Amino acid sequence: MGILEIVKRFAIHGELLEAGAFGDGIINETFVSVWDQAGIRLRYLHQKINHGVFCRPDEVMENIVRVSRHIREKAAAEGLGSASRRSLTVVPARDGRPLVIDEDGFFWRTYGSTDQIPMPGFGQCYLPVSTERSGVGTKGNR
């Protein structure tokens, strides 16, 4: 299963414009996707979790969700503003879980609307995957 199929399994709305490999991580494989959501371009970070390093990815994600929620709640309670910028935003799968498991048994996670991610052009850090032939961006993916 390729990245284009993986990203469609997360609860991201809008039109998928592009997706591709991001960086050259040592532990997890990382990808970025760009979506058009009502005329606004948003980026999402996707990771294929290395279960050789993280033998219980589901428990790792439970902890990330719990800690992120705590940070957001604390920031909001202290009036720090923009609590979503102070912690990770885990994008759930369409089934509500914080992970997607592909047909090979690999776990994937997605973090939302990361405008802090540098977005180089097509080059050494970001390798785009064409959405033209995949049917991505059709009304069925919204």
First to last CA, the chain: 20
pLDDT digits 0-9 by tens, 92-112: 999 999 999 999 999 999 998
Q: Quick check: 128 pLDDT over 50?
A: no
Question: What is the mean pLDDT of the segment spanning 2-31?
Answer: 90
At 122, give phi and psi (nearest 5°).
-65, 115
Between 124 and 38, the higher pLDDT residue: 38
Q: Quick check: 125 pLDDT over 50?
A: no
What is the longest distance spanned by two Cα atoms in the chain? 48
Place 81 in a pLDDT band, splitting at 50, 70 and 90. Answer: low
Place 84 in a pLDDT band, splitting at 50, 70 and 90. Answer: low
CA distance 98 to 107: 10
Tell me the fold of 3-116: Phosphorylase Kinase; domain 1 (3.30.200)
| Structural domain boundaries in the chain | 3-116
CA distance 140 to 142: 6
At 36, give phi and psi (nearest 5°).
-95, 115
Q: Quick check: 139 pLDDT over 90?
A: no
CA distance 113 to 110: 10
Predicted pLDDT at 72: 84
- How many CB atoms neighbour CB 10 within 10 A? 21
